[in-house]
Amino acid sequence: MSKLFQRDLFETPTNTHGRALKSIWVVGDDVHGLSTAVAFATALKPFGIKVGVVSLPTVTAKQASLHSCNGHLFAFHRRYQLPERAFMQSQGVAFFTAMSLATASRPNKPVWLANDTWLPLFNGIELHQVKRWLSDFASVETSFAAAAAKAGKTVFPSGQQGTLGNSFELGAVVDTEAYCAFLTQQALERGVTFVPSNDIAFERCPHSGDITTLLLSNNQRIQCDWVVDATGPQARVIGQALKRPFESWHAYSPISLSGETTEQSASNTPGIAVSVNDTGYQQVQYLGGKKRTATFTAVHSGVGECEAGFRDPVSHNCLAVGPAAYHIDVPGMSTLHTTHRIIERFLNVVPCLPAPATWGRAFNRTTKQDCEHLRDFGCLLLSAMATRQQITGKPWQVLPKLSESLDQALTLFNESARCTVPPDAMIHRQRWLDALALASSNEQAFEPLLNAVSQASGQQFLQRIATQIQSLVSQC
Amino acid sequence: MTTPQHICIAGGGTAGWMTAAALANRLPHSHYRITLVESAQIGTVGVGESTIPHIRQFNSALGITEEEFIAATSATWKLGIEFTDWGKVGDSYIHPFGELGRPLAGIEFHHLWQAASLQGLDVPIESFSVAAVAARQRKFSPPHASREHLLSTYTYAYHLDASAYARFLRDYAEQRQVTRVEAQIREVKRDHQGGPITALSLDNGQEISADWFIDCTGFRSLLIGDYSQAEFIDWSEWLKTNRAVVLPCEKDGPSRPYTKAMAREAGWQWQIPLQHRIGNGYVYCSDYISDEDAEHTLRSTLPGEALADARFLDFKAGCRKQLWVQNCVAIGLSAGFLEPLESTSIFLIQMGIAKFLEHLPGTHNDATRNQYNRELTEQYQVIRDFIILHYYLTQRYDTPFWRDYQAMNLPDSLTELILAFRDCGLVDKQQYGLWPAVCIGQRLHPKQVDSRVAAIPPQQLIGMLNQLKSDIAAQVATLPNMDDYLSSLVAQTPLQKSGMRAGGQV
């Protein structure tokens, strides 16, 4: 940490900004880059800041074909005025409210992880505690989102606060290609300039090291104040040009996407189904009359561009989004969530552009915390899956390592079934509770306050919720 | 059902009775027995006569109405804190509770204000805060319910008689089956050296065994103090004040709905207006001023006639390394001390209680205890940094005390935050949303303003801000004077009618 000299604090500012921000160029038009371009154009164009995209064919070719999102996708659309009707009509989206997770030991009895955001309290005590306390009632369905998914029904939140019909967030699986087409159209409507190029090089300021000019394959030169690196794992700007190192998280997430298949299917089952096998897991989603299967394999060492890890997203006058800065495979989730949060965070620091010397450190730290949150959640699921696979006698080659904070969280949950994830966390607290329960080694722990309550009242509470849910599902 | 748990709270006072009341309210009596041991012979510090808005959540959770609380504690409302002479001698600003202006298209208000000021606007930033404008005019009314309304953009806390609050909560707790034992603690019995506490031996011959012990014995830290894990982490390197002289006085006129924090030669002086008196104190560092001079300074600046003899307090800024050890949890001054510059004493008690209830111990508690300790110590550090900020952002060179502060090395955590604000006005609104008022109030202006502001024509920007200022002034003009509002409220309160009013003694 640099020393602060008190005498330097009180200089009177003389103008509004030393170097005004006039243009931002996004290098790469993958789903992360296009999302960034649309958001920036919406938020910054009214202030005369130009947004452009350099399309690089090698980047878009390497995208994952599907992204599983939660409420953050719709929040992003609302915030940046993306028309929901056009999105839903883009034929590239399927909705879900829960993910099933089947293990080899119990292939026909999957665990359901619901998109719950709120569940009723019992005398101020969380519902999952009551179910652990009354273990005979653990199988009573108390999640509307899970019940609907089990019944093969797609439901939408009712919008009425405090009701079971509004106790979850809607998830959406989007087809990357279709969604990129949608985002491109939205970007064009917002005045974003698209420039194709087969390759790209950069000129940098000899003093600050900032990127000053983009050099395209047709010899075109583009001056830029800020660059967004959306070039995927190649990290053409933040990694190759600016030399920010990549931190491998393979030990925490020893999983690699080993293949994707698509086949025609008459089924239109809503939801995401994960099935664990002796090499890793498969994730199945139905979208647009097709069954998409992604296969993930647990491997000993990181495999090139699929390796999980993190790189500081801000350096000099560059912001990296997507796999250029973070790559984490989590069942039923996409790093688009991280990108949406980065965009929001970046728009908060626009006042400080272009010099990131001060805020860059905090920005990178906070983004890393986001990525660790996502990584730890994925690690928790992987750990639970790996543990269950061990029971079959055919364990994975390699087990995920728990980070210190995750280990603390799991120890706390094992001790008291408590979770310290706040309600406004990136991944919702209710989902953490489900994941912690899945990974927990102690099913006996529960909130001590329950010792003072009669079991009959707890049973009535659970039954009442189950009845309401049955009624709601039958009406769908 | 399992065997009922017995929780013993050592020490009354604000921390002890807040803890007893909250536990009695939340924990089922069938399963939790609560005993509080206190002695009238041991005085209480009576911390926290000035509060922050979180206290309203505490009262609300206990089902205490504002009317009964105001009447029982001689409380007045508080819309913020006025800091005078902090940046430079002659300066004055209010740190208001609530919003400071309104952002525009994602641009934080302090950027808009600074840009407009550089282009000719000559209006202090506090004129864009409803709370600050109302406070200056001694007006008060609860915020408007509709979020669209300008009068919904503030919140409030209280000035209260802490001893009366403790007495009020004692009644509340005793009505909810908390057993009060009047005695002094002679000995703390433990299973073994460093082991769990088994019982407290009292001077009346009684011995109180319990499953859990809450140490609310103040600076004496009778229970937690013996654990090596609870070593006191000294922060006096950054917070130099170590003494206070306290002296209540008569009221000087209409009540002010804000606390005054006036920088002095070797520290700062508070004025906290209650319904029937004004609380005063001078917090200072004994290396820079004698007790006599400190008392003289305080006496010579009292707004009214003194009502009692001056009382001196010793303290040291810091926090225990672990606040929960074995079956002992420290809450209040036994856990740590931060001077009351930002009125956080009761808040820290409240946090200790809330976290204890959140992490209520069960059969096994290692992870629970670690989590409690992590969360609480982090909270103390955040407040510590915020208080240091006030001392560090000064251009006073008139006394050795202030000159020494300017040469101080800051904690890294604080340096980063100050640099972020200085360089570009960046603030983490989630955690440090209050910073702009303090930073700008003490003349720390961002070197650069959001470049998006350049897209707004200067006259349009100044016009927008002038309009907002006028709107706020017009809305504040519709509010009643705080004393009038107080009179109307107290007149309706049964406690007042029945004569159960606090404040009879200082």
CATH number of the domain encompassing residue A320: 3.50.50.60
Distance CA A349, CA A343 (A): 10
Closest CB to B415 among A4, A7, A15: A4
| In-domain check, residue A8 | no
Residue A426 lies in a domain: yes
- List residues bridging with A66 in a β-sheet: A175
User: What would the mean pLDDT of A284-311 be, rounded to a whole number?
Assistant: 86
pLDDT-based confidence at residue A302 (cuts at 50, 70, 90): low
Question: How far is the C-alpha of A351 from the C-alpha of A49, rounded, in Å?
Answer: 13
Q: Are A137 and A32 in contact (CB under 8 A)?
A: no
Contact A16 B363 (CB under 8 A): no
Mark yes or no for CB contact A16/B453 under 8 Å: yes
Q: What average pLDDT does this structure show over A314-343?
A: 94
Domain count, chain A: 1
Which residues of chain A have a CB within 8 Å of the CB of B395? 10
Asked if pLDDT for residue A358 goes beyond 80, the answer is no
- On whether residue A432 sits in a domain, the answer given is yes
Strand partners, A359: none
CB distance A437 to A416 below 8 Å = no
Q: What are phi and psi for residue B201, nearest 5 degrees?
A: -90, 130
Residues of chain B contacting residue A353, judged by C-beta atoms under 8 Å apart = 451
A350·B106 Cβ contact <8 A: yes
Q: Which of residues 441-460 of A touch B (CB under 8 A)?
A: 445, 447-449, 451-453
* CATH number of the domain where residue B347 is located: 3.50.50.60
**Cβ–Cβ below 8 Å for A416 and B359:** yes
Give A445's contacts in chain B (Cβ within 8 Å): 362, 364
Question: What residues make up the domain containing A413?
Answer: 19-115+169-445
Interface test mutation site (partner A, options B447, B449, B456, B460, max chain A beta carbons within 10 A): B447
In sequence order, the β-bridge partners of residue A284 are: A273, A293
B69: containing domain: 5-76+160-236+317-382
Q: Which two tokens stand for residue B115?
A: 């840009």
Which of A3, A13, A449 has its CB closest to that of B360? A449
Residues in chain B: 506
3-class DSSP state of A319 = strand
B364 to chain A: closest CA residue: A415
Which of B211, B430, B452 has the most A C-beta neighbours within 10 Å, making it the best mutation to test the interface with A? B452
Say which residue the tokens 């931060």 belong to: B338
CB contact under 8 A, A16 and B412: no
User: Residue A258: what are its φ and ψ, rounded to 5°?
Assistant: -105, -5
CB B328 within 8 A of CB A387: no
Q: What are phi and psi of A306, to 5 degrees?
A: -90, 0
Instruction: Tell whether A139 is covered by a domain.
Output: no
Is B425 within 8 Å of A9 when comparing Cβ atoms? no
Facing residue for B449 by CB, picked from A348, A351, A449: A351
Of B177, B86, B127, B170, nearest to B405 (Cα)? Answer: B86
Smallest CA-to-CA distance from A371 within A348, A412, A342, A338 is with A338
C-beta atoms of A416 and B416 within 8 A: no
Least Cα separation, residue A276 to chain B (angstroms): 31
Q: Of the candidates B52, B70, B142, B63, which has an alpha carbon nearest to the alpha carbon of residue B487?
A: B70
Q: Across the interface, do A350 and B428 touch by the CB < 8 Å criterion?
A: no
pLDDT for residue A154: 85
- Token duo for residue A248: 């491998």
Which residues of chain B lie closer than 8 angstroms to A15, CB-CB? Answer: 118
Residue A301 covered by a domain: yes
- A406 CB within 8 Å of a chain B CB: no
Contact criterion met (CB < 8 Å) for B415 and A124: no
Which pLDDT value is given to residue B500?
A: 39
For residue A87, the distance in angstroms to the closest alpha carbon of chain B comes to 25
Q: Does A21 touch chain B (CB under 8 A)?
A: yes
Per-residue confidence (pLDDT) for residue B431, from 0 to 100? 66
Q: What is the pLDDT of residues A376-397, one digit of tens each?
A: 999 999 999 888 888 888 888 8
Which of B418, B442, B451, B461 is the best substitution to test chain A (most A C-beta atoms within 10 A)?
A: B451
CB contacts, 8 Å: B409 with chain A: 3
Q: Please indicate, yes or no, if residue A281 is contained in any of the structural domains.
A: yes
Residues B380, A30: Cα–Cα separation, whole Å:
44
Task: Identify the helix (H) or strand (E) that includes residue A76.
Answer: helix A71-79
| Chain B residues with CB-CB distance to A416 below 8 A | 359, 362, 364-365, 367-368
Reading phi first (left if > 0) and then psi (alpha if -120 to 50, else beta), residue B194 is in: left
Taking 70 as the pLDDT cut, the residues of chain B under it are 1-2, 44-48, 430-433, 492-506
- B232 domain-assigned: yes
- Tell me, what amino acid is at A40? F
Strand order in the sheet with B328-330: B179-182, B32-38, B5-10, B212-215, B328-330, B324-325
Q: Contact at 8 Å (CB) between B139 and B480? A: yes
Average pLDDT, chain A: 89
User: Is the Cβ–Cβ distance between A56 and A28 less than 8 Å?
Assistant: yes
A-chain residues within 8 Å CB-CB of B33? none
Residue A451: closest CA among chain B residues belongs to which residue? B1
A149 occurs within a structural domain: no
pLDDT given at position A14:
58
Angle between helices B66-73 and B54-61 (to 10 degrees): 110
Closest residue of chain A to B448, computed from CA coordinates: A17
The answer to whether B78 is a known catalytic residue is yes
Q: Work out the end-to-end distance of chain A between its first and last CA atoms, rounded to an integer number of angstroms.
A: 57
Q: Residue A288: what pLDDT? A: 78
Residues of A in contact with B361 (CB under 8 A): 448
- SS3 letters across B437-498: HHHHHCCCCCCCCCHHHHHCCHHHHHHHHHHHHHHHHHHHHCCCEHHHHHHHHHHCCHHHHC
B70 assigned to some structural domain: yes
Please tell me the predicted confidence (pLDDT) of residue B126.
Answer: 96
Q: Is A475 on the interface with B (CB under 8 A)?
A: no
The count of domains in chain B is: 1
This complex has an ipTM of: 0.85
CB-CB under 8 Å, B359 with A418: yes
Say how many C-beta atoms besides its own lie within 10 A of residue B291's C-beta. 13
- Count the Cβ atoms, other than its own, within 10 Å of residue A134: 18
> How far is it, in rounded angstroms, from Cα B258 to Cα B252?
14
Residue A146 lies in a domain: no
A3 touches chain B (CB under 8 A): yes
User: Are A352 and B423 inside 8 Å of each other by CB?
Assistant: yes
- Based on the number of CB atoms within 10 Å of its own CB, is A183 exposed (0-12), middle (13-18) or buried (19 or more)? buried
**Would you call A415 and B367 a contact, using CB atoms and an 8 Å cutoff?**
yes
User: A206: which residues sit within 8 A by CB, 6+ positions away?
Assistant: none
| Nearby residues of B113 by Cβ (< 8 Å), 6 or more positions away | B101, B121, B125, B128, B440, B465
Chain B: closest CA distance from residue A453 (Å): 7
Cross-chain residue pair B30–A350, CB shorter than 8 Å? no
Residue B499 pLDDT: 36
Residues 6+ apart with CB under 8 A from B335: B215, B224, B319, B320, B323, B348, B352, B376, B380
pLDDT for residue B430: 67
Of B30, B392, B416, the CB nearest to A452: B30
Distance CA B54, CA B65 (A): 15
Nearest Cα residue in chain B from A408: B367
